[in-house]
Amino acid sequence: MRTHFCGLVDEALLGQSVTLCGWTDVARNLGGVCFIDLRDHEGVVQVVVEPDQAALFEVAASLGYEDVLRVVGTVRARHSINDRIRSGRVEIVASEIEILNKAGKLPFYGHENPGEDSRLKYRHLDLRRPEMQRMMRTRIKLVQALRRHLDSAGFQDIETPILTKATPEGARDYLVPSRVHGGQFFALPQSPQLFKQLLMMAGFDRYYQIARCFRDEDLRADRQPEFTQLDMEFAFVRERDVQDFVEDMIRKVLREVDGIELEQPFPRITYAEAMRRYGSDKPDLRIDLELIDIAEAVRGCEFKVFAEWAEHADGRVVALRAPQAQLSRKQIDDYAAFVTRYGAKGLAWMRVDDLARGREGINSPIAKFLSDEAIAAILKLANAENGDLLFFGAGTYKTVSDFMGALRLKLGRDLGRVANAWKPLWVTDFPMFEWDEEGGRYVALHHPFTAPAVDDIADLRANAKIAVSRGYDMVLNGNEIGGGSIRIHRTDMQAAVFELLGIEAEEAQLKFGFLLEALNHGAPPHGGIAFGIDRIAALIAGTESIRDVIAFPKTASAQCLLTSAPSPIPAAQLKELSVKVDLPQG
């Protein structure tokens, strides 16, 4: 049907006859001549219809956006050169134009920004846009490069079930009713976690899968209910074996896909240090601001909030220095309002006008509650300079870290302190458990199959509160792009961890009996990691939204606007599934 792709026609074809197919990007009738920009997946080429071709001219003049054409013509050099595109030095003089399909009224045209809802509803049109084609191809290249890398390193690509049993990764399950077993349900996998572990027990040694995962989470701006992971597992490994392999993989693949150079080796910090310095377990190291603990400087001061939290066993008082920040009172108030969203009760501040003048040289609503020594100590700890603004946070360790960490990111962006760079790192030594106030029990910070750093069960039981796990995350520019761990490979340890998580022996048997048994059948030490393909593709493609690198994404409220899913199903079908719908009133 065609001889060449539109976007690839160039000077090498001068004088030749070509047959092209594509969409009418624009058609311009300039009275004398008619120009058609013909577009396919490779790009655009200019087609010219000269006035002496009366019949052709009529066809060309009738064209509308997105009409589908087949054009036969000769390649010739072009007068007005466009060096931004490959075909920019040539044009096609048409001898034949066939309208393969005329487009009807369109909800939007290629060059408009139609708004997210329209884009998702008419995704086929949205994806036709060159920018979307570029972003989707970035994803395709990424997955290809990962596969190549892993295939050549001897990893086995194995599919795991989609209709399965719940695997706890901390979200709700999507459930599928079984027709044959009325009243019973499959869960869609939150991850292939248990299957990949079983594959290690089955002797496959190294596994990977580009795996779809499903998590029914509460609405968050950039989450998708289904997303894609590069899921990996290795037998007979310790942390560094996994980390070194995947660090090398990510470095090579990002170089190959987009010429991105990542430092070697990645910096490594512990979870505790990440929280202390950045108030986050996925610090964005492109921003050079750090949290500074000042409890020692404000202990016993008259500012009650500081004094109290400086003494508290689980308290934290920190300063964040905004270098040379000329902020108005209104802007400061806006930051105070911003941090309340992250649990802050207030945000104290201090402007540093003239260091040499001590108390006289600063401006702060809390200065009157601070001694000269305290002020001097704060300024020293914060390394303050004239023109700086210091923000302060006090409260529980977790709350302060959260809101000051969020403030660090916001200030970094607002003050233009985000370096134009790629900043990867490893975060290690995560806590094993988190105390869930509401449930009154421990929950696994990673997942319940993550090994603790200690081998001894009695030790783990005695020190559960401060136990460290063998989990690790890879972080890039403030995004957790991969997370994994060394797993528990002994039945007794797995049973003990279930017990610490408040999963009764009976429940553990019911839910994970198959795992406990398999661990007892000669399970090798093993570990792995999973990378978020959508997020990595978005980062490389330079877009904020993972929806831009997913062909058919869902909205933030977990709906597909294209197909109108989810949707009610007929009563007969429900009956067949032994399912009754019981919607809340109102």
Q: Write the interaction track for ligand ASP spanning residues 411-450; mark x where CB under 6 A is met and - where it is not.
A: ------------------------------------x---
Q: Is residue 528 a contact partner of residue 233, using CB atoms and an 8 Å limit? A: yes
Q: Is the dihedral of CA 482, 487, 493, 498 positive or negative?
A: positive
> Which stretch, 379-387, 493-501, 522-530, 570-578, contacts ligand ASP (CB under 6 A)?
522-530
Residue 430 CB, shortest distance to ligand ASP, in Å, is 11
> Which stretch, 132-140, 267-275, 426-434, 483-491, contacts ligand ASP (CB under 6 A)?
483-491
Residue 447 or 489 having the CB closest to ligand ASP: 447
Question: 397-414 and 271-278 are packed helices; what angle lies between their axes, rounded to 10 degrees?
Answer: 60
Q: Is the dihedral of CA 122, 225, 208, 429 positive or negative?
A: positive
Residue 155 or 349 having the CB closest to ligand ASP: 155
Among 431, 452, 484, 553, binds ligand ASP (CB under 6 A): 484
Whole-number CA gyration radius for the chain: 30
Residue 279 or 448 having the CB closest to ligand ASP: 448
Q: Is residue 431 a contact partner of residue 271, using CB atoms and an 8 Å limit? A: yes
Residue 403 or 449 having the CB closest to ligand ASP: 449
Residue 126 or 169 having the CB closest to ligand ASP: 169
Residue 169 CB, shortest distance to ligand ASP, in Å, is 5
Residue 97 or 518 having the CB closest to ligand ASP: 518
> Which stretch, 362-370, 398-406, 481-489, 565-573, contacts ligand ASP (CB under 6 A)?
481-489
> Which stretch, 28-36, 122-130, 332-340, 479-487, contacts ligand ASP (CB under 6 A)?
479-487
Residue 213 CB, shortest distance to ligand ASP, in Å, is 6
Among 53, 87, 160, 193, binds ligand ASP (CB under 6 A): 193
DSSP 108: S
Q: How many residues bind ligand ASP (CB under 6 A)?
A: 11
Residue 279 or 484 having the CB closest to ligand ASP: 484
Q: Write the interaction track for ligand ASP spanning residues 211-230; mark x where CB under 6 A is met and - where it is not.
A: ------------------x-
Residue 145 CB, shortest distance to ligand ASP, in Å, is 20
Residue 499 CB, shortest distance to ligand ASP, in Å, is 21
Among 197, 280, 485, 494, binds ligand ASP (CB under 6 A): 485
Sheet holding 315-322, edge to edge: 291-293, 315-322, 389-396, 348-352, 362-363
* Distance separating alpha carbons of residues 93 and 177, to the nearest angstrom: 60
* Distance separating alpha carbons of residues 552 and 288, to the nearest angstrom: 37
User: Which residues 6+ apart lie within 8 Å of 148 measured at CB?
Assistant: none
Structure tokens at 468: 């460290």
Structure tokens at 193: 């976690």
* Distance separating alpha carbons of residues 146 and 135, to the nearest angstrom: 17
Residue 191 or 477 having the CB closest to ligand ASP: 191
Residue 474 CB, shortest distance to ligand ASP, in Å, is 11
Residue 211 or 275 having the CB closest to ligand ASP: 211
Residue 230 or 362 having the CB closest to ligand ASP: 230
Structure tokens at 340: 């309340």
* Distance separating alpha carbons of residues 218 and 80, to the nearest angstrom: 53
Residue 149 or 447 having the CB closest to ligand ASP: 447
Residue 528 CB, shortest distance to ligand ASP, in Å, is 4
Q: Is residue 172 a contact partner of residue 190, using CB atoms and an 8 Å limit? A: no
- The residue with tokens 């009713």 is 177
3-state SS, one letter per residue, for 161-179: CCCECCCCCCCECCEEECC
Residue 530 CB, shortest distance to ligand ASP, in Å, is 4
Count CB atoms within 10 A of the CB of residue 39: 24
Among 169, 247, 402, 473, binds ligand ASP (CB under 6 A): 169
Residue 487 or 547 having the CB closest to ligand ASP: 487
Alpha helix segments (H runs only) across 417-470? 457-462
Alpha helix segments (H runs only) across 123-270? 123-128, 130-152, 193-201, 239-258
Q: Is residue 42 a contact partner of residue 49, using CB atoms and an 8 Å limit? A: no
191 touches ligand ASP by CB under 6 A: yes
Residue 395 or 448 having the CB closest to ligand ASP: 448
At 503, which amino acid appears? Answer: I
Q: Is the dihedral of CA 244, 245, 246, 252 positive or negative?
A: positive
> What Å distances lie between residue 112 and 43, 480, 502, CA to CA?
18, 33, 54
Q: Which of positions 526-545 make contact with ligand ASP (CB under 6 A)? A: 528-530
* Distance separating alpha carbons of residues 473 and 246, to the nearest angstrom: 11
Residue 218 CB, shortest distance to ligand ASP, in Å, is 18
- The residue with tokens 């700890």 is 381
Residue 84 CB, shortest distance to ligand ASP, in Å, is 41
Rule CB under 6 A: which residues touch ligand ASP?
Answer: 169, 191, 193, 229, 447, 483-485, 528-530
